[in-house]
Amino acid sequence: MDFGLSREDKLFVESVRSFAERVIAPRWVEIDEGRWPMAEVAARLGEAGLLGMTLSSRYGGQEATFLQAALAVEELAYADPSLATPVYVLLETAWPYVVQRHGRDEAKEEVLPEVAAGRAFVGIASTEPQGGSDVASVQTKAVKEGGLWRLYGEKNMVTGVSTALALPYGGGAVAVARTGAPEDKHRGVTLFLALLKRRGRQTPGFTYRDWDEVGRRGLPTGYLTLEGLPVEDVFVVGELNGGFKIAMEGFNLARTVIGAASVGAARWLLDRGLEWIRQRSAFGRPIASYQSVSFKFAELYARLEAARLSVYKAAWIADRFYGGDVAFAVQDVATAGAVAKYLAVGTAVETALEVMKWFGGASYFRETNVARSLLGLLSYYVGAEGAENILKLIIARNTVGREFV
């Protein structure tokens, strides 16, 4: 067992940190307020080699490990603790990778280099108005009409659509759609690379509007109505009716890197909190000298350390599994990803709330910026890429046993 990073990984972290400190950190509030649009930020991330990091060099990727991707996302979250920038990057670590593994060559050759260059975005369109947790019950339908697939249905809370529409190539999302009967449940679901804008032209057959989000406002999320969106055969991802398992692969990977984003934001919050408690005095002493404050700091520090290790371990397991190590199964990736998200998001939210208490009344104002980070973190706390109970369901199924859960 080795708790140190390799020389290559250390150099990689230093280069991402230097980019993040120089380009992202000075402007993260502008990103949060939509004054520096994510489509422009994406171009800078692409130049820095931070998009589609885990993709093959054949598609313009960096062939990075998932551990390296997690380390990069952690640094980006430290620089943009509202989470918009790291979420863009983490989504592009998970979903284009799934397309690379299961998509058709023609689709990969066209879209993935555009993702890596920051000219296209590929997210996930799974959640529907009736719910997001039960992916096997999606109602959006894909039907074959005159040689083309057409998607009909409603997708709620899809991140990155307006950003994709503002990018030069465009993009869209990996859409989960029903190709079998409703009673086929997970056996009747197929994945489609649904391009809402392709080669600079908006595709007909959908309408979209952004929600007015409370946080993470630099990367909007919204409501997508599919009204016969055309999808060519080459954009089917995986086998017909074989989409459920592939979607779960994407969620497993995304959760690991979400853990990394949460750890990065929590580190930022704890560092700001530490500066504050050392210099802020009450009753003639720095507030750090009260044990109710310093012990809470110690508790959060310890929990963050545990969360961080769980994220690195989940990424390490993903690297082993996807590197072909037969000692690991996809369930190991799923359990580790669920553990990483569960520990890291919970720890980060609690850190934000505690740091707000240390800042006192000042934290209630946007200018202090602590609340901006809390509002970004809450997106993952309330459910994005798997609500807490769903993470527990995955962990329990893979440990207690599917027959009991």
Ligand X SMILES: Cc1cc2nc3c(=O)[nH]c(=O)nc-3n(C[C@H](O)[C@H](O)[C@H](O)COP(=O)(O)OP(=O)(O)OC[C@H]3O[C@@H](n4cnc5c(N)ncnc54)[C@H](O)[C@@H]3O)c2cc1C
Residues that bind ligand X (CB under 6 A): 123-127, 131-133, 157-159, 216, 221, 379, 382-385, 387-390, 393
Least Å distance, CB 201 to ligand X, is 23
User: Rounded to the nearest whole angstrom, what is the least distance from the CB of residue 71 to ligand X in the complex?
Assistant: 23
How far does CA 89 lie from the centroid of its chain? 7
Residue with smaller CB distance to ligand X, 48 or 194: 194
Nearer to ligand X, 113 or 123 (CB): 123
Q: How many angstroms separate the Cα of 203 from the Cα of each of 55, 123, 149, 189? A: 26, 16, 13, 23
Which of 237, 244, 255, 265 lies closest to 317 in space, CA to CA?
255
Q: For residue 205, what are its two tokens?
A: 């057959």
CA distance to 19, 22, 112, 236, per residue, from 16 (Å):
5, 10, 22, 34
Q: How many angstroms separate the CA atoms of 248 and 233, rounded?
A: 22
| CA atoms within 13 Å, Cβ hemisphere of 395 | 17
In the complex, the smallest distance separating the C-beta of residue 150 from ligand X, rounded to whole angstroms, is 20
| C-alpha to C-alpha distance for 242 and 380, rounded to whole angstroms | 27
Residue 63: CB minimum distance to ligand X, A? 26
CA geometry: angle at 393 spanning 159 and 310, to 5°? 75
Distance in angstroms (rounded) separating the CA atoms of residues 191 and 123: 12
Choice between 17 and 216, CB closer to ligand X: 216
Tell me the closest approach of the beta carbon of residue 391 to ligand X, in angstroms. 9
Q: How far is the CB of 134 from ligand X (least distance, A)?
A: 6
How far is residue 175's CA from residue 230's CA, in Å, rounded to a whole number? 12
Q: Closest Cα partner for 357 from 293, 283, 284?
A: 293
Give the span between the Cα atoms of 176 and 170, in whole angstroms.
19
Query: What number of other Cβ atoms are within 10 A of residue 68's Cβ?
Result: 23
Rank residues 68 and 162 by Cβ distance to ligand X and give the closer one.
Answer: 162
Smallest separation, CB 88 to ligand X (Å): 11
Q: Which CB atom, from 174 or from 260, has the smaller least distance to ligand X?
A: 174
Torsion of CA 287, 290, 291, 294, to 10 degrees: 20
Q: Which is nearer to ligand X, 72 or 345 (by Cβ)? A: 345
Residue nearest ligand X, CB atom distance: 132
In terms of CB distance, is 132 or 273 closer to ligand X? 132
Q: How far is the CB of 111 from ligand X (least distance, A)?
A: 17
Cα separation, 114 vs 110, in Å, equals 7
Nearer to ligand X, 158 or 348 (CB): 158
In whole angstroms, the minimum distance from the beta carbon of 173 to ligand X comes to 7
Which residue lies nearer to ligand X by CB, 232 or 388?
388
Give the distance, in angstroms, between the CA of residue 31 and the centroid of all CA atoms in the same chain: 17
Question: Which residue do the tokens 């409703």 mark?
Answer: 182
Rg (CA), the chain: 21
Nearer Cβ to ligand X (139/389): 389
Q: How far is the CB of 339 from ligand X (least distance, A)?
A: 16
* Cross-strand bridge partners of residue 76: none
Phi and psi at residue 190, to the nearest 5°: -125, 150
Which residue has tokens 């992916």?
135
